Amino acid sequence: MVSKANFDLTGRVALVTGASRGIGRALAEGLAAHGADILAVARDAAALDPVCEAVAAQGHTAIPLAADVSDSAAIDALFQRIQRLGMAPDILVNNAGIEQVCPSDAVTPELWDRILDTNLKGAFFVAQGFARPLLAAGKPGSIVNLGSLTSAVGVPTATAYTASKSGMLGMTRALATEWAGAGIRVNALGPGYFRTDLTEVFYENEDWQKAMLGKIPMGRFGRMDDLIGAAVFLASDAAAYVTGQILYVDGGYISAI
């Protein structure tokens, strides 16, 4: 029987990448509101001060950690520092990501590598670093990868980003099947259209906004709070039998296309 206790994250430690702003910050604060302590990761540790203050105000531990997840050496150093802190994260929110709108015939190898190294390669090696101590200790955990509508559909001028998020879904399914027997669940969130620094370039176009709202059955863009419940569900014992899935939080967009 499911109870409120199934959604309680008290005593859990969540590692959240890209936690300084947007979706990452919202999910870090949302997980803390349900009881988790937070290891907040971003390239600039100072940028994590607001989210750490918000988590601390809820009575939970929040530790800022600087790391560029596109750099494998930086990921290794991140987990070495976490080990020295004596922290043992059992929730991972793989949120760090970048995008740059660019016509496909103008994409350079450097741009492709920058996006894929952060969004996909970085996510894999963060997941690996997170899982290794859990696998060694025989302890369970939950990974929530940030997918996208582009995990399922193509978006013009976003080929590299689309490739990274399609790859994220494939990675989610592969890790879920490999680690299920060890008690590590791996799922993904697929946010619809949420206004963030990453997507602001689209929202600056009022014609685009009107056209996109016409494609969303619920008739509005997402709000950060819309993602928190879904993330808490996937991270918590309420989703104990859920792995290898992507949960689209998109106001019905995917269902309507």
Q: Catalytic residue positions?
A: 161
Helix (H) or strand (E) holding 248: strand 246-249
Say which residue the tokens 């269902």 belong to. Answer: 255
Pairwise CA distance, residues 76 & 15, whole Å: 14
- Strand 91-94 vs strand 141-146: parallel, antiparallel, or unpaired? parallel
- The sheet with strand 246-249 has its strands ordered as 62-66, 37-42, 13-17, 91-94, 141-146, 184-191, 246-249
Burial of 155 (0-12, 13-18, 19+ CB in 10 A): middle
Pairwise CA distance, residues 140 & 125, whole Å: 18
Backbone angles phi, psi at 48, to 5 degrees: -85, -5
